[in-house]
Amino acid sequence: MKWFGQTRVQAVLVVAFAWLIYLNALPGDFYFDDFHHVRDNLSLQVHVSISRFFTDPQTFSDRVGVKMYRPLTMLSYALTFALFGDKPIGFHLGNLLLHSLNALLVFLLGRRWLKDPVWSLLLALAFAAATINSMAVNYISSRSDLLAAGFVLLALFLDPGPAPADDPPRRLASAGAMLSLALGLLCKENVVILPLLLLARDLLLFPGARWWLARRVGTYLAQAVIVAAYLALRYLLLGMVFGQPARPFSINLLTQLEAVWIYLGKIFFPVHLSILPNLGLAHSLFQPAVMAAALSLLGLLILAVRVARRLPLVTLGLAWFLLSLLPTSLPPLHVIISEPRVYLGSVGILLAACSLLARVVAPASRRWHQASWALLGLIILAQVVLTWHRNRLWQDGERLWAEATYRAPDLPFTLTQLGALAQERNHWDRAFWLFHKAWSSAPEEPFTMFSMGKFYADSGQTEPARPLLEKYVKEVEVPGEKVRGLTELARLELKAAQLGPARDRLQEALTIAPEDPTALFLLGAAAESEHHFDAAEGLYRRALAASPRFPEAEARLGTVLAQLGRYDQAETYLEQALAHGSQDAQALVHLGNLYAMQGRLEEAKDMMDRALEHNPDYAVGHLNRGVIHFRRKEFLAAEKEYREALRLDPSLLNAHNNLAILYLQMVQQKNLGARTPAQALALAREEIQWLKEHGVSTAELEKARQDLEGKGK
């Protein structure tokens, strides 16, 4: 099987293997940060200047104040939006493509360093299948980890290292490595470790006389300048280098000592994985777990140094793993531990493991080589099975967050995420239990206040919702979160017809974020409720300028335009709203009426059916469906709809008027069903009398009734 040893064939095999493992990840959905970072992020969906990604960190999220500087990552999302729209499968395809290319680069590095086609192939397959990396591939927001790792691997592949000759191809490759460093930094900040990783590689893989150090000084300085320029740019745009610390540095460092061993263990034994793992904070070096982690890490470092000459790739792999964790271990980040952080580091550990195993069996017979290959193959197969299972879990958000809650039952955030999914699926009792449990376990945490308050608001419980949301607005510091709280409070007040307080909340929100689409939309709704249709139109248009894919605003704008008699424009916006997923019953009815005006009765009835499917108790919907039946001469069906409208709203004038007309038409057209003409006229008389008592002119109806009664005699 000489063909199997050919580099090209093996490279194709590695890429195909990565795709095969993750094929069942493609039906996955958006989760967690994916919503504000990707799906709802307006910066990715409209034709904004590409330069904005490189100059405005707010393009990172649709939440005001949530900023990061990762312009190339954001550009990749914008490209995905342009190709696939907001369908999750496009983003999953992008992540899988990046992972397969990274596996290919791991294979090429393995061929160069391990100098063995079988071991390099096994290294790449082990990386492609590693279950610890499944979150980085499945989680759309982890694309930055995939891109950053790709540029680090590419730089390691391109950089020639110490070389006896300074020929043009090597200079070009070195320039390519420099470019990879710069591009990687624009994907994620953890690429700052690349110069240290290149230095470690040079020292370990090019031992002996250090004649080359003088020639490499220029390269190291250039890399340092690129990193320094990047950090300066971050400081200029963000006002900080690595973000606001979430906890004291000392506590974070002690906690991350434990995290290192958790990551290391899960690379080889991927059990208890979770979208949001929990790790308690360490407060003292003398805690048994912290002391054990620190001493073990110190011992590992001493051992790595001692074997550096005999096993340089083992030492390089360990250095790679530890260096890759520095950018997420030293700064006190909000999330203590996360599986995607080890994506790049897993390459180093797997390189060390394969190198050590290859060295152990090197003097042995071919049978021992084959046995070691078979053993590693079985381990890879086990990882494939586990990864396939993890991919299936990522297809179901409820199972994914239920697992996270099971792993960390006292972590409030997982409870709120599970509660949101239960509410989305109309499991209201379960949602309440989850939100309440989260809030009870951390009553002073702003996100538990907001989740509980919003649930109360969504379920129509205004009284318990208001104090929670008001407290949230007072305590939250992030501007975007404050805007979110203010708009939720304004919704409550609009439902209670408290227009003045609602406007005050919305004006405050617009002071923080002048073009916040939700605040503009709600101001438009307030204007519409007072029949200020021109003002409502302007506000809805501003909301759509700020967020073009805003189906609720499109629906309300279409409704307002219909009220203003601009039917062509109204139809356009109402159809756009439906195409973008709006379920606004009033908008559906208005669109149905527009279709009816054009004689498109079948389409009109479909709109009425959809409106009533969404809101069966919408009296005006039944009234208008009755009108469609009446125009189609389906008098009994029309009567049924009018009667249902009156059951829901006995004071609906048009329903009484339409019933009177209907009974008169039944007699005139002799389409009475089981009734006699006298019975139909008696019913018409009752409706006419009701209209008279409520101040409605009935002269024409009276004349028509009298004419029909005269003919009957």
3 state SS of 54: helix
| Minimum mean pLDDT range among 52-66, 254-268, 314-328, 466-480 | 52-66
Do both 485 and 345 map to the same domain? no
Do both 377 and 504 map to the same domain? no
pLDDT of residue 3: 47
Q: Which amino acid, residue 514?
A: P
pLDDT of residue 212: 65
d(CA 601, CA 543): 32
d(CA 124, CA 315): 19
Do both 385 and 502 map to the same domain? no
pLDDT of residue 14: 95
pLDDT digits (tens, 9 = 90+) for 112-148: 999 888 899 999 999 999 999 999 999 999 999 999 9
Q: Which of 490, 550, 551 lies closest to 525, judged by CA?
A: 490
| Minimum mean pLDDT range among 480-489, 528-537, 613-622, 702-711 | 702-711
* Local confidence band at 23 (pLDDT 50, 70, 90 cut-offs): very high
Do both 483 and 389 map to the same domain? no
* Residue 442 is assigned to a structural domain of this protein: no
Residue 1 has pLDDT above 60, yes or no: no
Q: Are the C-beta atoms of residues 505 and 499 closer than 8 Å to each other?
A: no
CATH code where residue 538 lies: 1.25.40.10
How does the average pLDDT of the chain come out, rounded?
Answer: 88
* Local confidence band at 676 (pLDDT 50, 70, 90 cut-offs): confident
Q: Which of 422, 425, 491, 401 lies closest to 435, judged by CA?
A: 422
Residue 73 has pLDDT above 90, yes or no: yes
* Residue 238 is assigned to a structural domain of this protein: yes
d(CA 428, CA 464): 16
| Minimum mean pLDDT range among 159-163, 223-227, 435-439 | 159-163
d(CA 526, CA 546): 19
Do both 268 and 364 map to the same domain? yes
Report the pLDDT averaged over residues 394-418.
86
d(CA 138, CA 125): 18
d(CA 214, CA 333): 38
pLDDT digits (tens, 9 = 90+) for 333-378: 888 899 999 999 999 999 999 999 888 877 777 777 788 888 888 9
Do both 389 and 483 map to the same domain? no
Residue 485 has pLDDT above 50, yes or no: yes
Q: Could you write out the DSSP letters of every residue in 440-480?
A: HH-TT-HHHHHHHHHHHHHTT-HHHHHHHHHHHHHH--SHH
Q: Could you write out the DSSP letters of every residue in 3-53?
A: GGGSHHHHHHHHHHHHHHHTGGGTT----TTHIIIIIT-HHHHS---THHH
* Residue 67 is assigned to a structural domain of this protein: no
d(CA 275, CA 267): 16
* Local confidence band at 677 (pLDDT 50, 70, 90 cut-offs): confident
Do both 336 and 483 map to the same domain? no
pLDDT digits (tens, 9 = 90+) for 553-610: 888 898 888 888 888 888 888 888 887 777 778 788 888 888 888 888 888 888 888 8
- Domain end: 543, 577, 611, which one? 577
* Residue 677 is assigned to a structural domain of this protein: no
Do both 490 and 384 map to the same domain? no
3 state SS of 320: helix
d(CA 510, CA 522): 11
Other beta carbons less than 10 A from residue 500's beta carbon:
8
Do both 490 and 344 map to the same domain? no
* Residue 36 is assigned to a structural domain of this protein: no
Q: Are the C-beta atoms of residues 68 and 57 closer than 8 Å to each other?
A: yes
Residue 281 has pLDDT above 90, yes or no: no
Residue 253 has pLDDT above 60, yes or no: yes
Do both 361 and 491 map to the same domain? no
How many C-alpha atoms does 659 have within 13 Å on its Cβ side?
Answer: 27
- Domain end: 577, 609, 624, which one? 577
Report the pLDDT averaged over residues 152-177.
82
Q: What percent of the chain is predicted at pLDDT more than 90? A: 41
Residue 657 has pLDDT above 50, yes or no: yes
Q: Are the C-beta atoms of residues 23 and 90 closer than 8 Å to each other?
A: no
Residue-wise over 205-241: b if at least 16 C-beta within 10 A, else e? ebeeeeeeeeebeebeeebeebbeebeeebeebeeee
3 state SS of 365: coil
More confident residue, 103 or 220: 103
Residues making up the chain, counted from first to last: 713
Do both 496 and 372 map to the same domain? no
Confirm whether pTM is higher than 0.85.
no
Residue-wise over 375-398: b if at least 16 C-beta within 10 A, else e? ebeeebeebbebbbebbebbeebe
d(CA 506, CA 520): 8
Eight-class DSSP state of 286:
T
Do both 388 and 498 map to the same domain? no
- Domain end: 577, 604, 639, which one? 577
Q: Which of 251, 321, 255, 246 lies closest to 294, judged by CA?
A: 255
* Local confidence band at 505 (pLDDT 50, 70, 90 cut-offs): very high
How many C-alpha atoms does 191 have within 13 Å on its Cβ side?
Answer: 33
Residue 218 has pLDDT above 60, yes or no: yes
* Residue 244 is assigned to a structural domain of this protein: yes
d(CA 99, CA 120): 17
What range defines the domain where residue 516 resides?
A: 479-577
* Residue 115 is assigned to a structural domain of this protein: yes
Number of domains in the chain: 2
* Residue 211 is assigned to a structural domain of this protein: yes
